[in-house]
């Protein structure tokens, strides 16, 4: 298998783009990367040729176009089952439930703490709704530990799609100095050392665009 192209937004801000990017790097898949800076005058025009309704990420593999972060991660996990999927069926189902909840929830946290990878770490005042999102995420992370294969410090032990899906939360917790319970704090530190996260951060820092609405 070859010939993958991943269309993404600004690395500093595009949380949805980070997920499949980290997953592909983790799986060791080589791919061409097209970065389309978001919220510029020409963004829609640049994304027009894709079937994604002007959104990123988009994975292109031969004639196939996939325009959803979770669907991209699942597709690649099916192509590379040796590395991509948790062996245990219960762990796998629980992992999918975590991913789906991440995909569809935490609206307060997303709007109050926009992903801004190069932000100088500092705390902000958090609303009760945002604190509830943070509590729920830690609860999910703890629950995942019950299904861990014991092979690493990631959510399910081995690195899985769940870690890719929660990668933007890791940057948010770190950059907004969110107080966390010990196990969550250890997990954030581990994720921040992952080579794919380090590489993403380095590129994010090199970007020039500033999206004012995402700066807090
Ligand atoms: N469901 C999509 C969400 C994609 C999405 O909302 N992407 C944001 C980037 S972080 C985007 O393209 N925003 C540009 C816009 O809304 O115009 C996925 O999971 O990939």
Report how far ligand 1's centroid is from the alpha carbon of 29 (Å): 22
Look at 2-6, 9-13, 154-158, 174-178 and tell me which has the smallest mean pLDDT: 2-6
For ligand 1, say whether the CB of 114 is within 6 Å of any of its atoms.
no
Entry pTM: 0.97
Q: What is the DSSP string of 22-38?
A: HHHHHHT---EEEE--T
Residues 158 and 151: beta-carbon distance below 8 Å:
yes
Mean pLDDT for the chain overall: 96
pLDDT at position 85, please?
84
Report how far ligand 1's centroid is from the alpha carbon of 64 (Å): 19
Q: How do the residues of the chain divide into helix, strand and coil, expressed in percent and rounded to 5?
A: 55, 10, 40
Q: Does residue 57 have a cis bond before it (omega within 30 degrees)?
A: yes
Stretch 125-135: mean pLDDT = 98
Report how far ligand 1's centroid is from the alpha carbon of 52 (Å): 9
Q: What are the structural domains, with CATH classification, of the chain? A: 4-82 (3.40.30.10), 85-199 (1.20.1050.10)
């Amino acid at each position: 298998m070859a010939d993958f192209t991943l269309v993404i937004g600004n690395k500093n801000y595009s949380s949805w783009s980070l997920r499949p990017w980290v997953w592909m790097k983790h799986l060791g898949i080589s791919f061409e990367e097209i970065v389309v800076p978001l919220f510029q005058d020409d963004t829609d025009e640049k994304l027009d040729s894709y079937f994604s309704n002007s959104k990123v990420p988009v994975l292109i593999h031969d004639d196939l176009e996939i325009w959803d972060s979770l669907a991209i991660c699942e597709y690649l996990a099916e192509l590379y089952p040796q590395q991509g999927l948790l062996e245990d069926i219960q762990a796998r189902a629980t992992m999918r439930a975590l991913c789906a909840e991440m995909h569809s929830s935490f609206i307060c946290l997303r709007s109050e703490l926009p992903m801004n990878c190069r932000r100088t770490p500092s705390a902000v005042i958090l609303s009760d709704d945002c604190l509830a999102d943070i509590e729920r995420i830690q609860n999910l992370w703890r629950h995942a530990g019950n299904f861990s294969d014991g092979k690493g410090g990631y959510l399910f032990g081995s690195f899985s799609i769940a870690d890719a899906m929660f990668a933007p939360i890791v940057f948010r917790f770190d950059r907004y100095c969110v107080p966390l319970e010990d196990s969550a704090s250890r997990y954030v530190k581990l994720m921040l050392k992952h080579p794919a996260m380090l590489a993403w951060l380095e590129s994010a820092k090199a970007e020039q665009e500033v999206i004012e609405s995402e700066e807090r």
